[in-house]
Amino acid sequence: MARYSFRETEAKWQLRWEEERTFHARADASRPKYYVLEMFPYPSGRIHMGHVRNYTLGDVVARARRAQGYNVLHPMGWDAFGLPAENAALDKGVHPGEWTYRNIAEMRTQVKAMGWSLDWSREIATCHPDYYRHEQAMFLEFWDKGLVERRESYVNWDPVDHTVLANEQVIEGRGWRSGAPVERRKLSQWFFKITAFAQGLLESLDELERWPDKVRLMQRNWIGRSEGALVPFTLAGRDDSLLVYTTRPDTLWGASFMAIAPDHPLAQECAERDGKLAAFIEECQQLGTSEEAIETAEKMGYDTGLRCRHPLGATEDLPVYVANFVLMDYGTGAIFGCPAHDQRDLDFARKYDRPVTPVVLPPDADPATFAIGREAYVGPGTLFHSGFLDGLPVEDAKSRIIDYLEERGLGERKVNYRLRDWGVSRQRYWGCPIPVIHCPSCGAVPVPQTQLPVTLPEDVDFTLPGNPLERHPTWKHVACPSCGTEAVRETDTFDTFVESSWYFARFCSPQSEAAGFTAEDAAYWMAVDQYIGGVEHAVLHLLYSRFFMRALKACGRIDVDEPFAGLFTQGMITHRTFQDGNGRWLEPDEVTEAEPGRWTTLDGKSVSAGRIEKMSKSKRNTVDPATIVEAYGADTARLFVLSDSPPDRDLEWTEAGVDGAWRYLNRIWRLVDEGIDRLAPAGTPIPDDLSPKAADLRRRINRTIDGVTEAIDRFHFNKAVALIRELSNAVEAFDAGDRAAAPLLRQAVETLVQLLNPMIPHLTEELWQRLGHEVILAETPWPKADPAWLNVEVIEIGVQVNGKTRSTIAIPVDCPKEEAEAAALADAAVQRTLDGRTPRRVIVVPNRIVNLVV
């Protein structure tokens, strides 16, 4: 068979793995465990090339670790709640559950066609009551432990989707799905008190050595620990004060105004008697709550007429503004403005004609002439215009002023965090119901554990906007569990991040009825040894998952703080974009390269080739994995995503790259299929006295084993592929006439097949069987390099006598000239040529040649 028949081969081995339950994991204390997990997908109905890359990376790790003797858990599930299902219900008139489960079935077929070594016996879908009943129980336990709170909070409100949006779901002031301008509303929300673990979440980042540095930095910045001071500014003519948290107390002498958030109690008090201020506050509410929205908006303020006394006794009182760039959720919702050393404050001061007094002098600047122009100075320096702080470096000045404030009762040292509690309420149907009942007498009452799960009603009406649970005629009306009074269910459902914050623990015991997972299984499998997914989830998903483990530990459910011991973030799959003459985006299969650099439609019309960008439906530059699998097979797609780029970088999808991977698969097929007669029977020993060429091949075999093993460990999969290709080239070029060829070729070919197995498992399983093995490769140990063939590399160099080559000798690389000379003189062919004569001169060119002059 000259051509590899991938369809029959891939179907054959996928069926065998399934029938023999090859990848079903069981706890086994006699073997080290290894838990490999990719971020599970949303069931949109089609897998995309990002899935192919993500899961192939994980599969290489899982298969290699399995071969290396680890007890591997590599499960699969579906992140199945969310707005797209509700939107489909609106658009297609289908129930979200029906749409979701149909998509899962379609995607399951596509996933299985890729041959990933997944344990399907552990499959979960987060929209199934068997899953979310445990999530509801966890919520109630968190509530009992004081880790859940209900309070009013300003939120981003999407007026089209009629739901709360996280800050990250607000793009340039608009909802990420609807595109509608986001409003700011005050709603009663349920919160997980993630801030209770802020310091631990921060400190533990240092222990996550197998996480990318950039991800740890992003998490540090999100948690945002700061040290500063709480300083009360007395309100002139009143008995109360305005409390400010500042990280720059050293700049107090540069204060020129005060600013409070629109929803600060003092702002609300003033608005009750000032209609213009009330209108200004309402205008501020149109902004989102994200820092991006605040920073990019024009800085606006309203003078309340109130004034604050300066705590250090400055003569001028400071005006109090309501400002649109101050958030109640950060610090105390009030700031003092020091325009000289904060750009936001400077912009505001210039707009409202407030003084700008520099109090930090840059190195080498002249205090007599230094002034602030259009940019605030935020660099290092020494204090000036600051009384007793003059001459101190910034950091020393911070410590000194806090001591001063504390000694006089004017303030106190304070650690603050940028991190805010996690609001988990969402106003939508297709999500996990929050297990709470609202009673007019008892307030918010937890649903008894015996009544879980609280399931979603099937008979819902999507013809009107908003949450159909809110207007359901029967579902929400229940009796209070405490007093029996008529009450109503909570109609908000959980943020879908809740489901994805513990699913990895559920995989440990997916059939557990009593709990989401058993303590025994969690103790064996957790933490996840290798987690793989996109960097876009570097903050929220990972942070929420880390919180969940700590909360579960506080409830005695698990003895793990960190869910993911190792993290890898893969690059994106990219493709060139195309547009026709009307500006319509074209799909890659609608375009052809008529000549290098010139693209046309299939009927010859001119096409504008744009940038190479991340594959996206909006620009139609996607490639359906199903078409690649149909044309070339899953192994080709797998090899391509592994070989053309380091996995942490973006990968451009090209037809040439796919075709190259397909050609290499056929090379390997022919290497075995057509050369199997050259191989010695399995188990034939390799002779000790190898020729230099045979020794070089044996050395290359062992060095390839060592290099590929290390490359896989370090996620250098493209390097592993390159090393394997070099070995296959050497095998093809090896002289079959060598007497050690047959047993050595057997070792070389089997090594090739074994090393390629994690990458292209279908082809290699078929070749392994053709090589005469009864035990499948998935159950075969990983090859081990022989240390004796790793350390010293031997090369062949020519030996000349009077300029004519008379022989070749094998010597160690970079050996001393004396050793090279001795080896040349000892060679039998050289001795015959010399015929007893002694060379007058010996010229040794290191690693190249020895020339004897007689």
The whole model's pTM is what?
0.86
Tell the CATH topology of 33-147+198-218+500-572: Rossmann fold (3.40.50)
Q: Where are the domains of the chain?
A: 33-147+198-218+500-572, 148-192, 225-417, 435-492, 573-614, 675-789, 794-853
Q: What pLDDT digit, counting tens, does each position of 394-407 carry?
A: 999 999 999 999 99
Cis-peptide, bond into residue 453, ω within 30° of zero: yes
The reported pLDDT for the residue numbered 796 is: 85
Q: Please tell me the predicted confidence (pLDDT) of residue 1.
A: 46
Give the integer Cα–Cα distance in Å for 467 and 697.
68
Sign of CA dihedral 205, 210, 211, 216: positive
pLDDT in tens, 228-253: 999 999 999 999 999 999 999 999 99
Residues 794-853, CATH architecture: Roll (3.10)
pLDDT of residue 792: 62
The low-confidence residues of the chain, meaning pLDDT below 50, are 1
Residues contacting 345, CB < 8 A, separation 6+: 257, 335, 337, 338, 339, 376
CA distances from 773 to 18, 317, 571 (A): 20, 89, 37
Same fold, 33-147+198-218+500-572 and 225-417: no
Q: Give the distance, in angstroms, between the CA of residue 330 and the centroid of all CA atoms in the same chain.
A: 27
Superfamily of domain 675-789: Isoleucyl-tRNA Synthetase; Domain 1 (1.10.730.10)
Q: Going by CATH, does the domain composed of 225-417 fall within 1.10.443.10?
A: no
How many residues are recorded in the chain?
854
Q: Which spans in 644-740 are helix H? A: 655-673, 692-713, 717-733
